[in-house]
Amino acid sequence: MELKLTRRRFGQLAIAGTVVAVLEYFQRKVFSQIPTPVVIGVRLGSIPSPDVGTGLDDPVPDTDEISTAPSATIDLILESLDIADAQPTLLSILPNLIDSEDEVTGFTSLIDSTVVAAITPLPTGSKGGGPTRLIVGPFATTVTISGLKKKEQLGSLVGTKDGRLLGLVVKDNGRPPVRVVEVDWKTGNVASILNLPGNQRFSNLAECDGKLYTTGIDKDGTTSLQLLDLQKGDLDFLTELRSNDTIWNSGLESLVCSTANQLFAFGAPRYESPHALYSVDQSSGDMMKLQDFDVSKITVVPS
């Protein structure tokens, strides 16, 4: 099935109904009909170019003052990827939803297929960082995260099969210490569950076959697959990740699990782009590249 939504068509639908109706339509039609496993990707839209003028006819005298372009609101774009089909499909464009100085720090789907994105201002931006907020579909509801310390942000997210939303709280730029939290996506409140060791960076959460996985990154960038037992408070090293018989030292943008309990990684080797989807052997850590997908984060929608 191929379902594309152009900006013109989005505008027509919005005029006919409102953006909320459009998002609800795609939540119902797209997520229920495209084949599984359905990989959903999120990315930021293009940053508008500021108006450029020559100033030759400007009556105002020249000054030494340098003006900087202000931040701008941009679109949040959702795309789907059928693993058997090399062509991504545009799902929806959420217009003027975030700031150009924001980044997507987490992305997942809940048990009812509702997608949730964590949006965090860049620490180097004019806002100097700021609280993470959730954008929850299909109504694109914005919920500000509360209960974080200064310079903390909510990173990786995973919607569990028992209906919870879990995440990793890290310092700016993913620095440790890292703690696992449960997030109330309706209120934005977070509750700490487990503090992870501070000798490495952690990112990504994925629930697969009843187990909770995360990835650890050593000082040299070596990325490992690890198992989290939240009830016992245990963290077990499983294996280093490898691609083409080479240790993976680039971290990952996402770690997800299909409805058939197949683990997938999403990322790119250092200094390469775009990101790509990889299948992961949980026992050996071998990653096999499937295909490129030019988005920021991914999730898998439950069937």
Q: Is residue 34 a contact partner of residue 3, using CB atoms and an 8 Å limit? A: yes
CA distances (Å), origin 116, targets 133, 157, 205: 10, 8, 14
Find, among 68, 137, 131, the residue nearest to 97 by Cα.
137
Instruction: Quick: pLDDT tens for 54-89.
Output: 344 444 444 444 444 557 889 999 999 987 766 789
Asked if residue 84 belongs to a domain, the reply is: yes
Asked if residue 170 belongs to a domain, the reply is: yes
Asked if residue 225 belongs to a domain, the reply is: yes
Angle at 56 between CA 51 and CA 61, to 5 degrees: 100
Asked if residue 58 belongs to a domain, the reply is: no
Q: What is the pLDDT of residue 50?
A: 57
Q: What is the pLDDT of residue 1?
A: 38
* CATH code, domain with 208: 2.120.10
Q: Is residue 233 a contact partner of residue 197, using CB atoms and an 8 Å limit? A: no
Asked if residue 50 belongs to a domain, the reply is: no
Please give the residue range of the domain that contains residue 130.
Answer: 7-45+74-301
Asked if residue 191 belongs to a domain, the reply is: yes
Q: Tell me the residue type at 16.
A: A
Q: What is the pLDDT of residue 129?
A: 65
User: Which of the residues in the chain have pLDDT under 50?
Assistant: 1-36, 52-68
Burial string for 242-278 (b: 16+ CB within 10 Å, else e) reads bbeeeebebbbbbbbbbeeebbbbbbbeeeeeebbbb
Asked if residue 241 belongs to a domain, the reply is: yes
Asked if residue 33 belongs to a domain, the reply is: yes
Say how many domains are in the chain.
Answer: 1
